[in-house]
Chain A
Amino acid sequence: MIIEVRMKFPYMKMDPLEIAEKIKEKFPLEVVDVISFRDQVSIIVKKDKIIDICRYLHDDPELDFDHLRDLCGVDYLGKKEPRFEVVYHLYSVRHRHMIRINAQVPEDDPKIDSVISVWAGVNWHERECFDMFGIKFKGHPDLRRILLPEDWEGYPLRKDYPLKGPEKEWSGFAEVLEKAKKCREFDWEG
């Protein structure tokens, strides 16, 4: 049956900068930068040991980041190198603190390890990131397009993709237009 809970069990919310310090101690070579803006901290890391970092964040009892809120990609074309960043937003349900990890992914080798062994819910997020940016996730069981049709060409959320779509129409829709044109011009009386 439903119980309506009135008590809160004890939680230990850590300051985001302390969390960043802890990660910097454990992985000194991977952390590139720590940026703080409006009480939220982003930790910019290199992409090579992302699975180890994520497993440490998930398993450590003081940090206990068991809930992956969001995974997305950002394209910094022309603004900074490397071009892409894969952003992980993590939250701890027990301790109620949040952290953001930005993993840098270069343009000439857009591959990064998949963290599906740590959080199972990251499956569709990584598929969407691949669909929109073209970043491949190594170790993902089923990496194919999710929001756009499977044979679509191009990666829409990159900055060099036009908003209204490319000149050449997608083949599936071009077929529908062809068929509609033929039906319109068909001689019903003849």
Chain B
Amino acid sequence: MLIDTSTIGLVEVEEGTKVLPPNLIITSIDKVVNWSRLSSIWPVTFGLACCAIEMMAAGASHYDFDRFGIIFRGSPRQSDCVIVAGTVTKKMAPVLRRVFDQIPEPRYVVAMGSCACSGGIFRTYNTVQGCDTFLPVDVFVPGCPPRPETLMEGMILLQEKMRKEHARWSAWR
């Protein structure tokens, strides 16, 4: 027996999501999967230089990251994204690429700080001019170092990006 949706009291909460009180929600798979992903982004700890201190401050009690569901994991196999915080040098680049390759799909990269975005003030022989030369970066967070609030804004932008994704949940994408 099919339910006649015109007679029952469905409430449209937002575009594309309907709720039948008290406990039935009708929506698309995209929305559910995206919502669950953005509410629990788990980055792998990749603090390199000064920006790592601001990242730690953002995760500590004053500017809490845990309320967004962001918990720092030690292993790349158990995480969703990598926040590249600090200067990437040519000696460190293969290590970073290897850590990024180990993160299972779907994965994201946040380049935090001027040095990760574009090399910063170091235009020298051992500094990579921006980690986007060898990584696909999703969000650039500028600053030297960016305040913890700026990093939170960067994570919220990443959440917005995840919200708009389409069909990134299937094996055959």
Contact = CB atoms under 8 A, between A and B. Distances in A.
Interface in A59-102: none
A165 B124 contact: yes
Nearest to B127: A165
Contact of B91 (A149, A164, A179): A149
B173 interface: yes
Contacts of A166: 125
B54 to A, nearest CB: 25
A180 B124 contact: no
Interface in A159-175: 161-166, 170, 172-173, 175
A180 B135 contact: yes
B133 interface: yes
B81 interface: no
A165 B136 CA distance: 25
B104 interface: no
A28 B173 CA distance: 80
Interface residues of B, number: 15
A41 to B, nearest CB: 34
Contacts of B128: 173
A148 B91 CA distance: 7
A110 interface: no
B97 A180 contact: yes
Contacts of A165: 124-126
B134 A148 contact: no
A161 B126 CA distance: 13
B125 A156 contact: yes
Given A148-B91, A149-B91, A172-B90, A177 B134 contact: yes
A176 B125 contact: no
A188 interface: yes
A150 B123 CA distance: 22
Contacts of A38: none
B33 interface: no
Interface string B114-132: 0000000001111010000
Contacts of B91: 148-149, 172
B69 interface: no
B98 to A, nearest CB: 9
Given A184-B136, A188-B173, A176 B93 contact: yes
A163 B122 CA distance: 10
A180 B90 CA distance: 14
B125 A163 contact: yes
Contacts of B125: 156, 161-166
Contact of A164 (B93, B94, B123, B136): B123
Q: Closest 8 CB pairs between A and B?
A: A165-B125, A180-B134, A173-B90, A149-B91, A176-B93, A176-B134, A176-B97, A176-B94
18 contacts: A148-B91, A149-B90, A156-B125, A156-B126, A161-B125, A164-B123, A165-B126, A166-B125, A172-B90, A172-B93, A172-B94, A173-B90, A173-B94, A176-B97, A179-B97, A180-B134, A184-B136, A189-B173
Given A176-B134, A179-B97, A189-B173, 6 more contacts: A163-B124, A164-B123, A164-B125, A165-B124, A165-B126, A172-B93
